Amino acid sequence: MSEVLDPLFSVRDKVVVVTGGFGQIGAEFVRSLHERGARVAVTSRSEVTDPAARLGLDDPDGRLLAVAMDITDQASVDAGFDRVLATWGVPTVVVNNAGLDTQPSAPPEVSGPFEEFPVEVFREVVDTNLVGTFLVTQAAGRRMRDAGVGGSIVNVGSIYGMVSPVQDIYAYKAEDTGIPFIKPVAYSAAKSGLYNLTRYCATYWGRAGIRVNTLTPSGVRRDTQDAKFQANYIERMPIGRMAEADEYNGALVFLASDASAYMTGSNVVVDGGWTAW
């Protein structure tokens, strides 16, 4: 897509930062924004020398920028934003997509019962999913405020931040391997914190024209997922399937564009009906 048909949803020429932009959902966010004319800084912990090749995009006009950023380190976050600012100016859209989750294939030491869950793992997950989002949001909002520009910050939540995991989905692991998988508490606790971080920042920066909203996805299909996990998950999903990775792009473009100009402190739930039960 080379041209936006409806200017209400335009992100053309916006400077955007997407954390975790080489991940499954993050890469789709980057592709969608780039195809619509945005300048997109893609962050990851490691250096990426050719982001266009990594994402399968043509970028003849240099609208992609790979930025090494550890979102759990304040100095790294500030350095990353300073690089974006020096290259393109103040970003007016920031997508807090980077996160850390525990898959059913995880070893038992990080997926065991609540009573034995390791505190160091809890801290690591909270540090990435909540503290990291706080640091990026703080750095982004400060620069928007100081420059006197408005903007849109989108925090990517999770259904497991809104409701508790359905542990029955994972019961087959104990039956098949003798080792139970318990969807850990850390991810749910960290993601749930994003919703009030969003509301706090929305009210704090509202008069400065800085909007802050949450986008809540549900599970995304992967070819590497266990077939039994997929079947159990889909059985509970009202829409009857898992999401494809690009099915959150529309909501993200909406939140990044002027189409959502009067929306802040809100949660856009795109979950196939999971939380409707």
Catalytic residue ranges? 187
Taking a C-beta distance cutoff of 8 angstroms, is the pair 197, 130 a contact? yes
Task: Please tell me the distance from the alpha carbon of residue 191 to that of residue 221, in angstroms, as a whole number.
Answer: 20
Phi, then psi, of 230 in degrees rounded to 5: -60, -45
Q: Which of 23, 83, 27, 80 is nearest to 57 (CA)?
A: 27
Q: Cα separation of 213 and 201, whole Å?
A: 9
Q: Which of 276, 154, 272, 162 is nearest to 218 (CA)?
A: 272
E strand residue ranges, the chain: 15-18, 39-44, 64-68, 93-96, 151-156, 210-217, 267-270
CB atoms within 10 A of CB 127: 17
